[in-house]
Structure 1
Amino acid sequence: MILPKERICLVQDEQGNPVVSTQSLPRPQQPFDVLVKVSSVGLNHTDYKTPRLKATPGAILGCDFTGTVVAVHPEAPWVFGKSACSRLREGTCVSGLVHGSNPLIPEGGAFSEYVLADGRFLLELPSSWSKLEKGAFSGVAWTTVVMSMDCLKLTGRPSRPEPNQPLPVLVYGGATTTGTMACQILSCSGYAPIVTAGINSHDLVTSYGAVKSVPYTDPASSEIIRHEASGTIRHAIDCITTPESVKCCFTSLGRAGGRYVALEYCDPSWRTRQAVQVSMPLAYEIFGRPVELKGIYRREADPAKSELIAQWREDIQSLLNEGRLRPHPPKEVSGGWQGIIKGLDMLRKGEVHGQKLVVYIDE
């Protein structure tokens, strides 16, 4: 395949705002590298929040992408094995994630015509899915859920589910992209997700595997959650992380305490119980490199995170092949590069509820 020398992409300007630019086309340099021609991108809150933490002029934004494999590293057959290489053959439709707005690798973001991705974390999507559904499948979501389960010490997984009676797991914000992914992966791993969501989202979250949906606006939500779980909840994933969500999660956990995962910064002043162990995983950690962001978002390199996700990738691929995993309800935002900018502004203003924004960049 003849490839261009340059690619159009969306980068940060001096203030961290998104602007359209042109950069040279990357080529596979490491054995894990896979070059993908991007067809669509999915938008996440981190796409506009990360530049706020540390503006990196020229860095390509974006994490979630879907596209077609166009090149792999010559050593790929020996690194991935023959079975994995078959899914990474030229022309395969894949979903993946990268560390967008990365100060260490500014050329590595997803909002680009071509992206250089880590093949260990790429997934082949069902051919029966529509283009919009494929674009809505979120690598950020499934890797975040897996890392959250690891923080919670939940060892069940789809290939070897929790053997005993399903443990209840609280998912605060069950109607978010990560929330519906958590419901699916938890239920497939032998757990019973109990979620908080808006009243109008009850049918949505139960269709994704929640065993119970509790309105987060109900003043007695914690009491209802404890009642539904017979007071046995010891694990919580907070997809929202506000003073109100933290209070609900901490109050819902049993008397003996438990483990709590926050997907945003959880201020110590919000934490009402010392018996609860708090973790805050970042999807950016999975690449085995330092995360050079400010303050509590900074992370040292941890190759174990890469191994964890690489192992889980097989489980996630099996769920996709078996039709047991599906994307968050998608919503297309038209306009290509300007559509991405518009969509990020919609997320920032809180205008998106129960949908994953998808933008096509190949039209």
Structure 2
Amino acid sequence: MMTIAMSRTAEQSTASPLKRSHHRALLARIPLQGQSAWHVDHARPVAALGEDQVLVETTYVALNPFDWQGVAFKYGIGQEARVMGRDGAGVIVGVGDKVKRFQVGDRVWFCANSSVSGTGAFQEFSVHSASEIGHTPDHLSDQEAATLGTGLITAGVALFRTLGLSLDDLTSSSTNERENDPGPWILIWGGSGITGVYLIQLARLLGYRVACSASPVNHAYLKRLGADVVLDRWADPAELVNQIRRETKDDVRIAIDNVGGATAALCRQVVQGSSIWRSENDMSTDEINSTPAKLVPIAGWPKEPPDSSDSLRKVDCLRISFSTTFYGHPTFSEALLDRFDTLLAEKMLAAARIRLVAGGLNGIEKGLEDMRHGRVPGGYKLVSRLADTSELEQVGQKRKAAGFPEEKVGAKRARSSGEDSPSDA
């Protein structure tokens, strides 16, 4: 028999029997002309709980580029409305029969598997595989924990599955003594993005020296996180590549790009090395390594073909995948999350900086628009508190004050509670 309960308050783990069968959720679909893609359903059924799943009452959600991209580019959604959202945090209010890692009342954070029904973050209650969520330590608030999700999991998958580094090397005592062994270099392009923020910290714990690019306003922040070299992302691309070569003695063998195809091509230039640059700087050009350098282009494949005329080494471009490594792969996902649990509890990982989005579910659409149009400063994660969502009566009052006839509210609700609100999320 599965256990189901509901938390008494947003930040409290004390639980009582769950009596609600419906809740509030933000739905998205490919809109008809002149309509918004988003609307809040105030009476959506709570998803059924599977035997290896947990039911989470979400307190805070964080916004992702994927959320607006899915609507803008028409992938991940269709004519039927569904719940979007990847990242969130809250408290477990139900556990399936086979769940051993969690119990009712545990505070957790998650990166929702969008291919599974009922997991979308933009709703008050969601279900998740017990193998794919992490514990929130006592010192971390739910709004901070909501920033972990996609950024931290992406960093973990990139390092420990795509690049094949060992999870056994990731401990709170794994940082090398820099005076005696400075460690190899890793390049993280887009260091102030949320994935970059977590990559820097994990790479530092693994003993790497970190070089990254970011806007000047974020340089001091990234150095506090552990970056050794932070360069201006707005510099001339060719000069930026040369600066990285100077700072690292042209000895970067691993790069992860978080920005796009153009910057992924620059990362490849860095890791392939340059015999011309070495000759101009009185360095050996005989250092051709038979071991290929590695590039993980998270945000887009390199746009330009490789130029091997000046390279010291071959470069392997490696594709990142959640579906073949994390989702549905409990051996790896549990090992990764258990390691993250330890590092978070020991305060060896810091959550990303946050900016609160007003209005709960009602404010998410505007937050996504701000993100889409570059109105969110780098190094910050937009976070929304679901308790701030307007009640249906308040929505009607706001529409009436704005000049909408009262009957139109009912008409819109009838449509949204019918064909616009399928059960699949």
TM-score by length of 1: 0.85
Alignment pair present for 1:237 and 2:256: yes
- Letter of the 1:258 partner, please give it: A
The match for 1:292 is none
In the alignment, which of 160, 165, 170 is matched to residue 158 of structure 1?
170
- Letter of the 1:176 partner, please give it: G
In the alignment, which of 335, 344, 363 is matched to residue 320 of structure 1?
344
- Paired residues for 1:1-363 under 5 Å: 1-15=17-31, 17-21=37-41, 22-31=43-52, 33-51=53-71, 52=73, 53-56=75-78, 57-76=80-99, 80=100, 84=101, 88-100=102-114, 102=115, 105-135=116-146, 137-149=147-159, 150-155=161-166, 157-159=169-171, 161=174, 165-219=182-236, 220-243=239-262, 245-255=263-273, 258-266=293-301, 269-273=303-307, 275-283=314-322, 285-286=324-325, 288=327, 303=329, 306-353=330-377, 354-363=379-388
Q: How far apart are 1:233 and its partner, in Å? A: 0.7
Deviations 1:116-172 (A, max 9, x none): 01222322223223443233x321111111111122233363138487752211000
Q: Report if aligned partners of 2:61, 2:383 keep a CA contact under 8 Å in 1.
A: yes
Q: How far apart are 1:221 and its partner, in Å? A: 1.3
Q: Tell me whether 171-180 or 159-168 shows the greater mean CA deviation.
A: 159-168
- Letter of the 2:46 partner, please give it: L
For the residue of structure 2 that corresponds to 1:224, the secondary structure is helix
For the residue of structure 1 that corresponds to 2:337, the secondary structure is helix
CA distance 1:343–1:284, shift in 2 (3 Å):
farther
The gaps in structure 2 that reach 5 residues or longer are 1-16, 274-288, 309-313, 389-425
Paired with 1:356 and 1:284, the residues of 2 have a C-alpha distance of: 24
The gaps in structure 1 that reach 5 residues or longer are 290-302
Kindly name which structure, 1 or 2, has the bigger radius of gyration based on alpha carbons.
2
Q: How far apart are 1:54 and its partner, in Å? A: 4.0
Paired with 2:24 and 2:231, the residues of 1 have a C-alpha distance of: 45
For the residue of structure 2 that corresponds to 1:350, the secondary structure is coil
Paired with 1:313 and 1:165, the residues of 2 have a C-alpha distance of: 28
Deviations 1:285-308 (A, max 9, x none): 55546xxxxxxxxxxxxx4xx432
Q: How far apart are 1:173 and its partner, in Å? A: 0.3
Paired with 1:148 and 1:75, the residues of 2 have a C-alpha distance of: 29
- Letter of the 1:128 partner, please give it: H
Paired with 1:45 and 1:273, the residues of 2 have a C-alpha distance of: 32
For the residue of structure 1 that corresponds to 2:128, the secondary structure is strand
Identity %: 21
CA distance 1:3–1:232, shift in 2 (3 Å):
farther
Q: Report if aligned partners of 2:57, 2:124 keep a CA contact under 8 Å in 1.
A: yes
For the residue of structure 2 that corresponds to 1:129, the secondary structure is coil
Q: Report if aligned partners of 1:35, 1:116 keep a CA contact under 8 Å in 2.
A: yes
Q: How far apart are 1:321 and its partner, in Å? A: 0.7
Q: How far apart are 1:350 and its partner, in Å? A: 1.4
- Letter of the 2:317 partner, please give it: V
Q: Report if aligned partners of 2:51, 2:95 keep a CA contact under 8 Å in 1.
A: no
Paired with 1:121 and 1:288, the residues of 2 have a C-alpha distance of: 7
- Letter of the 1:119 partner, please give it: A
Q: Report if aligned partners of 1:155, 1:162 keep a CA contact under 8 Å in 2.
A: no
Paired with 2:19 and 2:319, the residues of 1 have a C-alpha distance of: 40
Paired with 2:353 and 2:199, the residues of 1 have a C-alpha distance of: 14
Paired with 2:142 and 2:90, the residues of 1 have a C-alpha distance of: 10
Q: Tell me whether 351-360 or 45-54 shows the greater mean CA deviation.
A: 45-54
Q: Report if aligned partners of 2:24, 2:44 keep a CA contact under 8 Å in 1.
A: yes
Q: How far apart are 1:342 and its partner, in Å? A: 1.1
Paired with 2:306 and 2:111, the residues of 1 have a C-alpha distance of: 35
Q: How far apart are 1:273 and its partner, in Å? A: 4.3
Q: How far apart are 1:69 and its partner, in Å? A: 0.6
- Letter of the 1:55 partner, please give it: I
Q: Report if aligned partners of 2:210, 2:226 keep a CA contact under 8 Å in 1.
A: yes
Q: How far apart are 1:8 and its partner, in Å? A: 1.4
For the residue of structure 2 that corresponds to 1:253, the secondary structure is helix
Paired with 1:313 and 1:55, the residues of 2 have a C-alpha distance of: 29
Number of residue pairs the alignment of both structures matches: 332
Paired with 1:310 and 1:239, the residues of 2 have a C-alpha distance of: 25
TM-score by length of 2: 0.73
Q: Report if aligned partners of 1:232, 1:254 keep a CA contact under 8 Å in 2.
A: no
Q: Report if aligned partners of 1:68, 1:92 keep a CA contact under 8 Å in 2.
A: yes
